[in-house]
Amino acid sequence: MVISLFKIKIHKMKKLLLLFAIIAFGFTAKAQSSFTIGANSGIPLGDANESSSVGFEIELARLSNISENIKVGLGTSFQYFIGKESTVNGVKVEAKNSYSLPVYGSARLDVWFLTLGFDAGYSFGLSNADGGIYGKALVGVRFGNLMVQAVASGTEKRIMSGAGLVITL
C-alpha cells in the first residue's frame, strides 16, 4: 500500500513538472528570460543535523518574465552535506558526506527590492543521500544583478537553512 502511494505521488510529480516545464518554456518565446547562478551554505536541520555539520548548494536556473514582477522557470542544483563525527554509546561514529541533485520548477515574485521565491521538484540522491520531493523557499534582497538570499531547502530527510548569493546573467 505504501509503495503504491509513493508511486502515485512520483507519477503525479512528474506530470506536474512536465506541465510546469511546458508552461515556463512556452513563455520564453515571448518573454524576456535570464539565467541565474548562485551558491548557498547553511546548517542542516532535521535528520540531516544528526549526520552532517554543514551544507552547501550550487544552483543554476533559467527564469522567464511572465509579468513585470513575476518570473517562472526551471532549475537544478548540486547539494553537498559534510558528514560529522558523533559518539554513540561511547563509540565514535563518522558519517559520510552526501550529495544530491535537485531538479525543480521555480517561481519568483519581485516586490520593490525584495524577491520572494519557491522551488519545487525532485531531488536525486547521488551518494549517501535519499532522493525525495524537493522544496526551497527564499527571501532575497536585490542589488542590481546580485541578490543576497536567505533560504530553506531540501527534502523531507535533508533540510538546510542558510544564506547565499545569486547572480543574474
- Which CA distances in Å does 169 have to 15, 35, 39, 145, 165? 30, 5, 14, 7, 13
Question: What are 22-76's pLDDT values in tens digits?
Answer: 555 554 455 588 999 999 999 998 777 777 889 999 999 999 999 999 999 999 9
pLDDT at 94: 83
Range of the domain at 142: 2-168
The mean per-residue pLDDT over the stretch 113-135 comes to 93
CB-CB neighbours of 80 under 10 Å:
19
Q: Long-range contacts made by residues 23-27, C-beta under 8 angstroms, separation at least 24?
A: 23/72, 24/64, 24/72, 24/73, 24/74, 24/105, 25/64, 25/74, 27/64, 27/65, 27/66, 27/72
Does the pTM exceed 0.75?
A: yes
CATH number at residue 74: 2.40.160.20
pLDDT band at 10 (very low <50, low <70, confident <90, very high): low
pLDDT (0 to 100) of residue 26: 54
What's the total number of domains in the chain?
1
